[in-house]
Structures are given as C-alpha cells and as structure tokens.
Structure 1
Amino acid sequence: MSSGDLKSDLSRKTSFLGLKLWVVMGLCVGVFIVGILCILSIWVTCRRKSRRTLDGYSHCQIPHVSKDIKVDRVGAANVHDHPESLFLTIHDKPNETTSEKMLVHLGRSKSSDADNISQCSSIFHHERGFSSQSGEEGSSGTVRKQPSYGIAMPSPLIGLPEVSQLGWGHWFTLRDLELATNRFSAENVLGEGGYGVVYKGRLINGTEVAVKKLLNNLGQAEKEFRVEVEAIGHVRHKNLVRLLGYCIEGVHRMLVYEYVNNGNLEQWLHGAMRHHGTLTWEARVKVLLGTAKALAYLHEAIEPKVIHRDIKSSNILIDDAFNAKVSDFGLAKLLDSGESHITTRVMGTFGYVAPEYANTGLLNEKSDIYSFGVLVLEAVTGRDPVDYSRPANEVNLVEWLKMMVGNRRAEEVVDSDIEVRPSTRALKRALLVALRCVDPDSEKRPRMSQVVRMLETEEVPYREDRRNRRSRTASMEIESVKESCSSSADVESKVGRADSSTSDTILG
C-alpha cells in the first residue's frame, strides 16, 4: 500500500459522528490512557484506606525489659493467664543512692551533651532455655529457684498498632520514622560509621528511640539488616540493648532500638562524658560484670550461640543506673552447637581482636573472650588498647600490663583518675580475670560463665580451681612418695611446696 493510499484511508470519514479515521484512533488511545490512570487512582485510594484501618486496630503491648528487672520469662503460666501483661522477676533493683555512689563528683544535672552519645545497634534472637551457666535471663528462660512476684510492665510501644510480619517487634513505616526523627535531621544524629547513621527519635507515644538507618552500599544494608534481625528479634536480657522494631520500605532498611542516654564506656573513660565525673572502681566493675553476663548468655544460653565479634568500650552503652548494655551486632556471627569454629573474613577493632582470629580467620566464642579481657584492662587502667602517643614498650596495653605484673608493679597500673583506689584483693581479682581472658592459648581462656562467677565472688578468682589443682598435685606427690616408701613428713612437705608454687604462679 502506497503512502497516498494510507493517507486517503486515514482521512476518510467514519460512521462515528462523521469523524475521520485518524481522529477516532486518537480518541481510542486517549480513552485507554485515561482508563489506566483511573484504575491506578482507585488502587492508591484503596491502599490508603486499608492503612487507616490498620491504624484503628486495637493496641498491643510488647514485653518490655525495665532496667529494674533481672529476669524476663516468656511462656510462663502467668503470662497465659494475663495475656495483656508480662510477669517478671524482680532482682537487684537499683536505687538513687547506689547510682550516686557510682560516680565521683557527678553533678545531679545532665547537659544536653549527654544526648550526643554514640548509639549503636544490638542484640540477638534465637530462642533457647535459660542456662544456669550464664547466670542471667533470656526470653525463653526456665523458672529460677528464687521466688518471683508478678508485676505488669508497660511497653515502650503502647499506643502503636502491632503490624509486625516477623512475629515480634513493631513494623514501622518510613513516614513513622521520618516524623520521629524530624525527617532524619542532622540535629538528631547520635553517631555514624560505615554501617550508616544512628538518629535519636521520639515515637508518637512519647518513647525515645535510636533509629539506625543502614547505608545501602552494594547490598550491605540488606546483609546487615538480615544479620541483626535474624539474630536479635526474640532475645530479652537486662544487659543487651533491646531491638524494638524495624522498617522495610523500598530500598530503606532501618532498625529501631531502645534509647540509652548515659553514654558508653569509651566516653566515660576517654571522652565526652568525663566532664560529668569519673567512674568509680565499683561502677567499672558493675559495667564489666553486666557485659560478662550478656556474653555468657549469648555464648552459652541460646542456640545457635552468638559471636559478637566487636566487643569494645564504645559498644558498651550505660544506662542511668550504670548497667551495661551491649550493642552493635552488625558484625556478629552464629555458631551452631556442632561447630567448634567458623572461618570468616577478619573483622573487628584493632587492639581488641584475638591473635588466633587475626592470624587464621578461625572464629569462635574465645575471640569475644579475648576482647572482653582487653576491655577489663582498659577499664582498670583507663588506657586505650593501642596508644601510639606512649613510649614504645607501653603502646600495646596487653603487653605493657603483662610486663608490669611480671615486675611486681601491678598496683601502678590502676587509672590515676580513680580517687578511691580498689583494695589489693579487688585489683588482683580483676587483673587475674583479664589475664586469663587474654591468654595467647585460646583453649586456656575461661568461659564467660566462669568469668561472671570470678567477678561476682569476693574471694580470689579460681580459688576452687586452685584447690582442685592442689588436690591433684598432692595426689601425684603422695603416689610418688608411696612408691619410694618415703615418710609422711616428706609427703606433707612436698604438698606444701606444690601449693605454694601453684599459688605463686596464679597470683603473679
């Protein structure tokens, strides 16, 4: 067909109002486009109505772990009887007097700088029964032996509809978090790093939160989001920062945590919180003990166990009662019960990374234990793990402290800012715990549940173990003496020398 014929066909009149064919075809295309737009408009309107319907649903309360609560038991009979509340065990409730004793020259008023703390991420999920070795509480814990009293605790999410699709926490919309953070205002930034930015926010019910907005660098946001959500969701522990909810919308991946407004251990030891006062020895031990309990729970009370991989002072947040809150699980790994270790790319913070992990990439809970040992030394001495401003033999904190202890100068390592110095026994206990944890042979490092018991006891650590070793040594000596038909006096003499030698080796 020639172009002239096509033009004449399109120009001929049709029976529809006498309009030309090309006009009719144009009208059809226009009507089709308008129809598509109408359908899209109706669909958007329906979605908005359904969202308003969700906002009208009845409010749900989510279990909240107060800083005054020691045990959070989910699944107990009382919970079934009272579904609207969670019954908890009260233990070790802090009071104002105790909190005030934690600081030297700590003013009663807090400046606005306290809000500028480094707020990181948190914690891990996986349900498993309570482990007596960890000495702490978990979301699926069995009943403890001490008596408990049921009290209903308010949730930080009261007033928000429960719309989670993961079976826990709250599913926040992007608009919810924009409103909470004043559209992610720079004034609300608490901290930032390679993972993204953390903002302070206030939910519509008045609850203060920390919103971690993950950077979407080549899928890194999706990866870190999955790691933290899969591991954190259901875990409840006094010494773990609580994950309240999340946001999945388009390319956005955000995590919402409880807001801890009393800084972190690094800031109290080296940074912005020092103008509020100096942490006393008792405060430092309390923070270390809380951290140890959290790690004991993650390593020994849940399955699979959780390896934090980035234990350091800036990731130990501190609440108003000076309880430790372990945070930032963006580098964490899960280790199944059948696995002795996993091989992974070396990650962590220089100075805290265990030597065997740095050299081989083989990771297990012993790596966290080494990092905790460095943390103890940092709290005791007030020094950074690696400080190039110091003389060459003092740059590495671990090596310097070993040298000082070896030279019988342990009393000189205590942070000079501590006005009331610890007793010799207390200092010895802390240093023994630290040196055990940073043992170059990972197999000789204690479990975190053992560390908890060592920090809690008023006696010298590992006294029971020393007695066991003494008993074994004595038995060997006795057998040897029996074989040589030596006198009982010789036996007592040798046992005494063995006891003395073992004690001197441990106590340095």
Structure 2
Amino acid sequence: MLNLARSHAFDNNKNLSALKRLSGGFQYQNNPGLCGSEFPNLEACSADYDPNKPEPLGPNTLWKKSFPQSVNLTEPGCQKQNCQDRSRSPNAGIVFGVVAVAVASVMVGISGFTWYRRRKQNIGSTCRELESRLGTGQVRDACKRGASPLISLEYSNRWDPLGWGRSWSGTAFSQEVFETFMFNIEVVERATQSFSKVNLLGKSKFSAVYKGVLTDGSSVAIKRIAKTSCKSDEDEFVRGLKLLTTLNHDNLVKLRGFCCSKGRGECFLIYEFIPSGNLLQHLDVEHGRGKVLEWSTRVWIIKGIAEAICYLHRSEGKKPALVHQNISAQKVLLDYWNNPLLADSGIYRLLADDILFWKLKSTAAMGYLAPEYASTGRFTDKSDIFAFGMLVFQIISGKTLVNPVIRKGTEAVSFNEFVDPNLEGNFPVLEAERLGRLALLCTHDSPCLRPSMDDIMKELNEHSMSC
C-alpha cells in the first residue's frame, strides 16, 4: 500500500508539471472540479497540496473538499493501534456465543448431577432417620413421596415382612391385630437404651435378649434376631408371627409385640419380663451356697410346665395344635411367686433351617432330644413329652445332667439316688415315687409307650400332690 501511494504521488507531480507547461492552453472552465495552488485560474484547495511532503497520498492524508466536514469517518474510540477489520466481528461473536453456551451447559450438568447425588444421600439418610422414629409402613410412605424410582426400588427390595402393602384380609392376623402387636423401632431402642450392654440378659448364636422398660413403665424382655437367622420366605415368616399372636396361657411367656426393622435387617420380639431367671439357675446348687427349691415348689413347677405343654398340643379356636420342639430347663422361666412360664413357644416357625439345626444339636447334647428323631427326623407331641420327662428328672434330682444312676435309682425307688439331697429328706415319699415313675414313662425309648399330655395332667391332678 505504501509503495502504491508513493507511485500515485509521483504520477500526480508529473501531472502538475504538465499542467504548468500548458499554461494558457489549459481550459480551466472545462474542469470546474480542479483545485490547486500556483495556478491563478484554479480555486485554492482547503488543504493545500505540498509536493514536497513525503507520501502526499498516504493513508492519513484527507482533502477536506472531498468530504463534508460534518462527516466523521473515524469510529469513536477507534485508534490506529486498536482498530480491526470489522468484517471479522460477526464470526468472532458466533464463536464466542457457542463457547459460552457449551461452558454453561457443562456447568448446569455438573450442578444437576451434584444436586441429584446429594438428594439421593439425603433421602437415604432421611429414610433411616424416619425408621428410627416411625413404624415400618409409615417409613415406606414417607420415603416413597420423596425418593426417586431408583431409590424406591432399592428400598423396596430390602427385607420387609411386615410391609403395609401386604394383604391381611381373610386371616386371623387382621389389620387391627397387626396394629395391636406392632412396635416401632424407636420404642424398642428407647426401652433398651439403644441396646446397651448393661441391659443384655443373654446371647446365643442366633439372638440376644435385652431387658427393657416401655413408656408405661412395664418391664419387657426383647429378643433381637438378625434377618439372616429368620426364614427367608417373608410369607412363611409372617405366618409364624400370626401363630405367636394366638398363644395365650398363664404358663406361657406372654408376647407383647414385635418389630421388624427393614433398615437394620432385624426382627424384635417383645415379651413380658420374668424377673427370677430360669429353672437352670436352680439346678446343681451346692449345699449351703444357694437357694434350694422346696419340694412343694418343685411340684408346682412340674404341674405348670405340664399345663403349658398340654395347651400347646391342643387345638383351640384359631390356635392350631403346636409342638414346642425346644423344651429345656433354660426355657422354663420363674416369676416372683415361682410360677413357671414356658418361653419361645412357636418361635421355630420364624427361624431359618440352619438355626433350627444348631438348636437341635444343643438340645441333643443336654439329653432332651427323643431317640426316635435320629431315625424319623420329625418332631411330634411325643418328642415334647420325652423332654418333659427329662425336666421332671432334673427338678426332682436337682441335677442338670440326668445320668444312668438317677434312672436306676428311680426304677429301684432308691430315693437317695434320685431325689435332691439338698432337701434333706423333706418330701413326701409316695409323691416322689409317683413323679419318678411318671418321668420314666415319659422318657421311654418307644414313643408309643409314652403317655399323652392329657394322661399326664390326669395323673398329676388325681393325686393329692403338694402345692
């Protein structure tokens, strides 16, 4: 551009020299648009042309006559060093807009994902918190209102045998009964002080038992069972709970209610609390070092246990005939007045098969398992009667282990060999003999030769046994 301008300036200088040589021969009137200096017949230009100036037609040279002075060809703020080609401005704007939209989209996506994750976490924690304050069914309703479909699906797939979506119509276990027995997890936790070790009464392979105090001030024993120890079929589990609610006898530990926590994966059975422990604590008492049960108390306990088993074996109303399957001295609890109460009746209906097998081995080790089970693999009412006969031996002898010496002493009516020496002879001889004979019949190797519970109750009631 600069060389071209210099070439134009050189040509103009040659033209001016040519005009000067024409002098009077040049017709100025025929060229009204001309202006210049050193020519008398030409009008003076507003910006005199100086041929001595370098680059007279350079990029900064303007002749005012060519443009009105009111016209401003320079954009405001546009200086030599920062003015750019305006033809590129639209493309730059489009590129900038596309980049801005892309960045904004990415930011919105990140923000949305972060919000979703936080919301999912909050809903999960809210569900857990709600379950500690509400019933299982209420938790389901509250969480479904706020959870996404994925969260609801995850929640619904968890163990929930008492979900409110289950139909209770047409069964003994009505909705009204359900509400009567149902406890929420907050009540259970408060009663046990969040399952404090101070309140732990006992623990086994499949459960733990805690003492608790309800809001009404009543004491309860809460059996805590993991869902892995329960039947995996929820319908079968619920049928077991239905059975427990039908049991009602003075010599059975009363079920107050239950709670199934989906979040914890645990089931809680709430029973009335029996303060004086179990019968096992009154066996193998060393002379002079513990409380010895009087003879009349022992007879009372035997009769109470017999009544409880007789009730289980009978079908009454909505309660079907039931075999206990786990009768032992540990399952016989005593209250303040030494009334016997049989615990864990029907609980086998809730437990998984591997847990039942483990309990079976424990029962066999203590001598309560009927010998025919080895060949049949089935529990019957005669299985319970065998275990009852073993209990009678234990109560009379005061021993946990019923050895052959005790059996032989009973057969020979040798009281020194089968009656607890801690009684020091303070017992009715005939009554001791009849109870010994009853224990032998109940533990006969042949189940057919064992008496029924009705026959046992008749035997206990016909004779004037001390109370």
Residue 314 of structure 1 is aligned with which of 323, 327, 330?
330
- Mean Cα displacement is larger for which, 165-174 or 432-441? 165-174
* Secondary structure of 1:19 counterpart: helix
**1:234 aligned onto 2:246:** yes
Aligned to 1:325: 341
> In structure 2, the residue corresponding to 1:278 is in which secondary structure?
coil
Under a length normalisation based on structure 2, what TM-score does the superposition of the two structures give?
0.60
More helix by share: 2
Report the AA paired with residue 373 of structure 1. Answer: G
Quote the residue 2:312 is aligned against.
Answer: 298
Distance in 2 between residues matched to 1:270 and 1:438, nearest whole Å:
21
Amino acid at match of 1:236: N
Structure 2: gaps of 5 or more residues: 1-90, 136-171, 351-355
Q: Secondary structure at the match of 1:355?
A: coil
Distance change (3 Å), C-alpha of 1:363 and 1:229:
same
On the 8 A contact 1:382/1:415 being kept in 2, the answer is yes
In the alignment, which residue of structure 2 is the partner of 1:487? Answer: none
1:73-152 to structure 2, matched below 5 A, reads: none
Q: Indicate the residue corresponding to 1:204 in structure 2.
A: 215
Aligned with residue 379 of structure 1, among 370, 389, 395: 395
Please point out which of 277, 281, 287 is paired with 2:301: 287
| AA matched with 2:205 | G
Of 403-412 and 231-240, deviating more is 403-412
Q: Take 1:446 and 1:176, find their aligned partners in 2: how far apart are those partners?
A: 45
Cα shift readout 1:318-354 (whole Å, capped 9, x = no counterpart): 01111111012476469xxxxxxxxx96553421111
TM-fit CA distance, 1:363:
1.9
What residue identity is the alignment partner of 1:212?
K
* Greater gyration radius: 2
Q: 1:280 to 1:356 in 2, by over 3 A?
A: same
Q: Which residue of 2 aligns with 1:446?
A: 451
Percent identical pairs in the alignment equals 29
Q: Provide the rounded CA distance (Å) in 2 between the counterparts of 1:384 and 1:40.
A: 54
Give the conservation status (yes or no) of the 8 Å contact 2:405–2:417: no
Is the 2:410–2:417 Cα contact (8 Å) retained in structure 1?
no
Q: Flag the 1:214–1:41 CA change in 2: closer, same or farther, 3 A.
A: closer
Classify the secondary structure of the residue corresponding to 2:212: strand
Q: CA deviation at 1:307?
A: 1.1
Structure 1 residues 177 and 37, CA gap change in structure 2 (3 angstroms): same
Amino acid of the structure 2 residue aligned with 1:188: N
Counterpart CA distance in 1 for 2:395 and 2:131 is 53
Structure 1 portions without partners, runs of 5+: 1-7, 55-139, 141-162, 335-343, 387-395, 461-508
Counterpart contact for 2:244–2:347, Cα < 8 Å: no
Q: 1:229 to 1:359 in 2, by over 3 A?
A: same
| Root mean square deviation, CA, Å | 3.9
Counterpart residue identity of residue 416, structure 1: P
Query: Residues 213-247 of structure 1, C-alpha deviation per residue, up to 9 Å, x if partnerless?
Result: 11344656988965752431122110000111112
1:165 touches 1:171 (CA, 8 Å); kept in 2? no
1:19 lines up with 2:31 in the alignment: no
What is the Cα deviation at residue 382 of structure 1? 0.9
SS at match of 1:197: strand
Question: Any idea what SS the aligned residue of 2:106 has?
Answer: helix
Deviations 1:179-236 (A, max 9, x none): 2111111111101111211111111221111111113446569889657524311221
In the aligned structure 2, how far is the partner of 1:400 from the partner of 1:331? 34
Residue of structure 2 in register with 1:190 after alignment: 201
Identify the match of residue 179 of structure 1 among 190, 204, 214.
Answer: 190
What amino acid is the match of 2:313?
A: H
- Paired residue for 2:140? none
Letter in 2 for 1:187: V
The one-character-per-residue Cα deviations of 1:102-130 (angstroms, maximum 9, x if unpaired) are xxxxxxxxxxxxxxxxxxxxxxxxxxxxx
Q: What amino acid does structure 1 have at the position aligned with 2:251?
A: N
Q: Tell me, in whole angstroms, the C-alpha distance in 2 between the residues paired with 1:423 and 1:332.
A: 38
Would you say the 8 A contact 1:308–1:333 is kept in 2?
no
Q: Deviations over 1:373-429 (max 9, x none)?
A: 01001100112235xxxxxxxxx2xx3334224434245421011146221221122
Separation in 1, partners of 2:127, 2:417 = 72
One-letter amino acid of the counterpart of residue 417, structure 1: N
Pick from 253, 278, 282: which aligns with 2:267?
253
SS in 1 for 2:246: coil
C-alpha distance in structure 1 between counterparts of 2:121 and 2:230, whole Å: 31
**After superposition, what is the alpha-carbon deviation per residue over 1:115-164, rounded to whole angstroms, capped at 9, x for unaligned?**
xxxxxxxxxxxxxxxxxxxxxxxxx9xxxxxxxxxxxxxxxxxxxxxx97
**Distance in 1 between the 2:231 and 2:125 partners?**
31
Change (3 A) 1:178 1:378: same
For 1:291, the aligned partner's letter is I
Quickly say closer, same or farther: Cα 1:450–1:256, change in 2 above 3 A: same
8 Å contact kept, 1:164–1:171: no
Q: Which moved more, 1:417-426 or 1:203-212?
A: 417-426
Residues 380 and 414 in structure 1, CA contact (< 8 A), matched pair in contact too:
yes
Aligned in 2, Cα 1:352/1:227: closer, same or farther, shift over 3 Å? farther
| Rounded Cα–Cα distance in structure 1 between residues aligned with 2:124 and 2:348 | 42
Whether contact under 8 Å (1:195, 1:221) holds in the other structure is: no
Deviation at 1:175, TM superposition (A): 2.5
Match of 1:433 among 438, 449, 462: 438
How far did 1:255 drift?
A: 1.1
| TM-score, scaled relative to structure 1 | 0.55
Q: Which has the higher contact order (CA 8 A, sep 6+)?
A: 1
Q: Distance in 2 between matches of 1:51 and 1:23?
A: 42
**What is the DSSP-based 3-state SS (H/G/I as helix, E as strand, rest coil) of the residue aligned with 1:285?**
helix
Change in Cα spacing, 1:44 to 1:255, as seen in structure 2 (3 Å) is same
